Amino acid sequence: VADGHNVPLTNYMNAQYFTEISIETPPQTFKVVLDTGSSNLWIPSVQCASISCYGHKQYNSQASSTFISNGSREVSIPFGSTTPRGVVSNDVFNIGDLRIRGQNFVEVPLFSITIIKVRRDIGPCALDDTISVPSPFSNMITEKLIASPVFSFHISTDTFDNYATFGGIDPSAYVGDLLYVPVTRKGRWEVDLLKISFDNEELDLESGITATIDTGASFIILPTTFADFLNSQIGAKRGTTGHYQVACAKVDSLPEFSFYFGGKAYPLKGTDYILEIQDACISPFVGLDNNFSGSGSQWFVGAVFLRKYYTVFDAGRAAIGFATSV
């Protein structure tokens, strides 16, 4: 990729895509989700006494000669229905072939089970700046480590050919033109969600509804009333895991669902939006009202969409670009 820095992503059951970073010196390695839907890079601290930290990698500042204390500055990090707290620390940060000499991150001494994602030591490596700790992406721009203030995502159902690109766009990863939609708020990767359609019926949404294009989410997170309706329409029933499931034999015949961004429809077939894990076919429509500050006005659009559409996050344009993936 011209002028870009590719970072390989590991596909875990089509539900999470993670990479490995290191914090030195000497390097302490962690698996992280590159997450556009949360703020700050945060890492379990060696001081974590929670049972949920058992078996997970933990950062030990005393073992790093490049660690710089940031005093006792604390931040809280809203994450779904929980708000963990941590202390801001500073150290050298490596991802792919990029090295940031002074990256702030949050050492979290207490994690809940719901916060350490999916497996082993995965946590979010945020790519926005909603809390006043610049993200690794912001520091790549500030330190002129990348040629352009963009990063892009290409993910698939394969175990290979999944990668993020910092500082560039891979023209071989998509067909047609990239169409850009302006973000609605500085520092957040969210766009106006004007309309959806389901089974060829369009629904204009109220003004102010937005969608976060969330590289850290597996599904489509939306207000419960919408989720319940869509799940009923596809015949999904709540399974023993709490997720709604459909009969796998029906997936090919499920209705098409579309988002409208910037006036353009981005359709998903049933085979695109249903996630098959160990012979269970899981609906992507997850109701979560407490993620929306009581307003019900924000959706989170995750991997079921990103697999179909190559996505470019462009800080220079303050816009997100979409094109059909190949």
Phi, psi of 174 (to 5 degrees): -150, 165
Cβ neighbours of residue 238 closer than 8 Å, sequence gap 6 or more: 244, 245
Which residue out of 35, 121, 192, 272 is catalytically annotated? Answer: 35
214 part of the active site: yes
Strands 190-192 and 210-213: antiparallel
Structure tokens at 142: 């500030």
Distance (Å) of CA 157 to CA 251, 273, 286: 16, 12, 20
On the question of a cis peptide bond just before residue 26, with omega within 30 degrees of 0, the verdict is yes
318: Cβ contacts below 8 Å, ≥ 6 apart? 182, 183, 186
Q: How far apart are CA 177 and CA 172, in angstroms?
A: 12
DSSP class per residue in 96-118: TTEEEEEEEEEEES---TTTS-S
The answer to whether 35 is a known catalytic residue is yes
Burial label for 277, CB within 10 Å (0-12, 13-18, 19+), is: middle
- Whether the CB-CB separation of 273 and 308 falls below 8 Å is answered with no
The catalytic residue among 121, 214, 272, 314 is 214
Yes or no: say if 192 and 180 are a contact pair by the CB < 8 Å rule: no
d(CA 178, CA 197): 22
Contact at 8 Å (CB) between 44 and 108?
Answer: yes
- Of 312, 63, 24, 68, the C-alpha closest to 174 is 312
- Cα–Cα distance for residue pair 4/169, rounded to 1 Å: 7
Positions marked catalytic = 35, 214
